[in-house]
Amino acid sequence: MTVNVKAGKGVLPLPEAVLSFRQDVGNIEQWSVNVIRDATSSSANLIEREMNVSSLRDEVSRLYRARETVRVRIGLTELKQYENIAAAVPNVTSVAAAEELRITYVTGKLGYDIGLMKSGVEKNLGERMARDGTGNGWQQAVLYGATMAGTKAFNSFLAGVRSVNREWADALRKMSDSLTGLLSDESLHSLTNTRLTDAWVYDSVKEDGEYVSMPYGFHVNFQLADVINKYLNSGSTETEADGNVKKPRVPDKFPGEEGSGGFAKLIVNFPKLDEGVSGYLNPQRRVSYTGKSVRHPERLLTDPFKRVFSRKVPSNGGVILIDASGSMHLEESDMEQILKAAPGALVMVYSHSPDSVDVPNLHVLADRGRRVKSIREVPYRNGGNGVDGPALSYAQSLRRSGEPLIWVCDGQVTDRHDNSKHELTRAVAEFVVKYKVTQAPDVLAAIDMLKSRRFESKYDGFVGHYIMRYLSGGRR
């Protein structure tokens, strides 16, 4: 059998020739150019002098070869440049994202069709990040979206986000418009024009007096990064530091909370947590896209995802708030199963004695690796509910980004006199929906959720009734 093929060889760029046009580069070292199958995975490492591109002649391969050649022409070439940027800016990952956008923009200005920059995974990634719903998911969406602002790939990514979270999609669209508007500003054209890449400025000075230079065009990235940081911060979620339970920052107020017909005043009891939780591990660190301080600047060069930060990865946890009124029950064995399933959990129990004053009505049983020796030592049984709303608000204020808040309750909400009030019940229902609180009708249901890590509410009682009406559009 004979197969007809066209004559011709594969196409590979010559990065050494491109670098020879740069006045800032001294010795032109030999590059390693590797052939890859997937053009969308093309990359160029100017520090290690290594390039990975497809050798095929199709338009997509041609585009990505050109894009990495542009990187060689206008990108940073020295490790100390990356180190100085990491030390000077508040968020180096936003600068890295801006650089990817700048390189794409310059490639398009050279006549290449950047509309072909679409790998096919963008929509799925958008759905996954939006479904995550956490601060980490939002920051990844911002950084990923910024690298492709104004392209067809961004539109596909945005469609995935919008299918899950319209609010996120609207914000990301505004960010993209701001970034592309900045790049189209006539006053900035000189900053991205490849003909001016031989003009150098001295951007920073090292302690020994040695100047560190960088391409003039690179400075547009700092302006683009300011836009990216604005959106990164708009979705940030403050998290608590490791340690014991802190008081709430600004708890939500509930109707009538200050009056005689509202909830009772929340009084928190912090018993001695003198026993470690079996199975709890000290937090380990994992590289991350986001963070407060750069721990791995070298990853700007070696990691295609630019994970230069690190974050602590604690044991399975979450916030578990348990109603311990007369209609609910909590046993010692329940506590053991909760901590077995989630050793890093914060576990609290609440109950208010009707019309009582200055009697603790919320008790901390475990706090992220530490626990009471026995729940029998904690006087948590007070008979009534009375503080459902304030207890939920307090638990929400202690919730860390991305972790579940499970409310174990039969759905009955009462005021300080232990009387049911429609207004209070409705307010709690709206709070549960607003903060995506997971309701469990009993402790066993909560334990099953912790074991499976599937947190799906099982709405119960009057609160469940109001939630279903609230979700269906009815507020009364």
Q: What is the pLDDT of residues 413-447, one digit of tens each?
A: 888 888 888 888 888 888 888 888 999 989 999 99
Selected residue with higher pLDDT from 471 and 262: 262
Q: What is the mean pLDDT of residues 291-295?
A: 62
130 and 211, same domain (yes or no): yes
Let me know if residue 304 belongs to a domain: no
Provide, rounded to the nearest whole percent, the portion of the chain with pLDDT above 70.
Answer: 75
Domain residues for the domain of 106 are 15-234
319 and 439, same domain (yes or no): yes
Let me know if residue 332 belongs to a domain: yes
Q: How confident is the model at residue 186 (pLDDT cuts 50, 70, 90)?
A: low
* pLDDT above 50 (res 196): no
211 and 333, same domain (yes or no): no
Q: How confident is the model at residue 357 (pLDDT cuts 50, 70, 90)?
A: confident
Selected residue with higher pLDDT from 329 and 368: 368
Selected residue with higher pLDDT from 283 and 39: 39
CATH assignment at residue 452: 3.40.50
226 and 154, same domain (yes or no): yes
Q: What is the pLDDT of residues 304-340, one digit of tens each?
A: 666 767 665 555 788 999 998 876 778 888 999 999 8
Q: What is the mean pLDDT of residues 267-296?
A: 71
91 and 188, same domain (yes or no): yes
Place of tokens 């093929």: 5
The CA-atom distances, in angstroms, between 273 and each of 127, 295, 370, 466 are 41, 33, 6, 37
Let me know if residue 69 belongs to a domain: yes
At 453 the pLDDT is 85
pTM listed for this prediction? 0.51
Q: What is the mean pLDDT of residues 160-186?
A: 88
* Phi, psi angles (nearest 5°) of residue 158: -65, -35
Let me know if residue 424 belongs to a domain: yes
Residues 6+ apart with CB under 8 A from 140: 129, 289, 290
At 252 the pLDDT is 58
Let me know if residue 410 belongs to a domain: yes
Q: Cβ atoms within 10 A of the Cβ of 281, count?
A: 12
Q: How confident is the model at residue 161 (pLDDT cuts 50, 70, 90)?
A: very high
Q: How confident is the model at residue 236 (pLDDT cuts 50, 70, 90)?
A: very low
Q: How do 284-288 and 200-205 pair as beta strands?
A: unpaired
Q: Are 193 and 102 in contact (CB under 8 A)?
A: no
Q: How confident is the model at residue 239 (pLDDT cuts 50, 70, 90)?
A: very low
The Cα 330–Cα 312 span in angstroms is 32
Q: How confident is the model at residue 262 (pLDDT cuts 50, 70, 90)?
A: confident
The Cα 22–Cα 319 span in angstroms is 56
The Cα 24–Cα 77 span in angstroms is 9
At 245 the pLDDT is 36
Selected residue with higher pLDDT from 229 and 469: 229
Let me know if residue 307 belongs to a domain: no
273 and 177, same domain (yes or no): no
The Cα 146–Cα 144 span in angstroms is 5
Q: What is the mean pLDDT of residues 230-245?
A: 52
Comparing CA positions, the residue from 408, 354, 357, 359 lying closest to residue 383 is: 354
At 202 the pLDDT is 39
* pLDDT above 90 (res 346): yes
At 204 the pLDDT is 44
Lowest mean pLDDT among 96-100, 324-328, 345-349, 404-408: 324-328
221 and 346, same domain (yes or no): no
223 and 322, same domain (yes or no): no
At 250 the pLDDT is 40
332 and 438, same domain (yes or no): yes
The Cα 98–Cα 142 span in angstroms is 11
423 and 276, same domain (yes or no): yes
184 and 273, same domain (yes or no): no
At 153 the pLDDT is 92
Let me know if residue 372 belongs to a domain: yes
The CA-atom distances, in angstroms, between 264 and each of 258, 320, 359, 431, 463 are 8, 21, 10, 17, 18
Q: How confident is the model at residue 379 (pLDDT cuts 50, 70, 90)?
A: confident
Provide, rounded to the nearest whole percent, the portion of the chain with pLDDT above 90.
Answer: 25
The Cα 328–Cα 446 span in angstroms is 13
In total, the chain counts a number of residues equal to: 476
Let me know if residue 420 belongs to a domain: yes
At 191 the pLDDT is 46
Tokens of 249: 């920052």
Q: What is the pLDDT of residues 132-157, one digit of tens each?
A: 877 778 888 999 999 999 999 999 99
At 91 the pLDDT is 78
* pLDDT above 50 (res 176): yes
Q: Are 312 and 284 in contact (CB under 8 A)?
A: yes
Overall number of domains in the chain: 2
Place of tokens 């590289």: 287
Residues 6+ apart with CB under 8 A from 35: 10, 12, 53, 54, 55
At 427 the pLDDT is 87
**Mean pLDDT in the chain?**
79
At 66 the pLDDT is 94
Q: What is the pLDDT of residues 62-111, one digit of tens each?
A: 999 999 999 998 888 877 777 777 766 777 888 889 999 999 998 998 88
Place of tokens 């899950």: 164
Q: What is the mean pLDDT of residues 354-375?
A: 88
The CA-atom distances, in angstroms, between 147 and each of 35, 172, 181, 224, 310 are 24, 12, 15, 11, 21
190 and 339, same domain (yes or no): no
Selected residue with higher pLDDT from 9 and 344: 344
The Cα 336–Cα 334 span in angstroms is 5
The Cα 346–Cα 367 span in angstroms is 4
The Cα 270–Cα 360 span in angstroms is 10
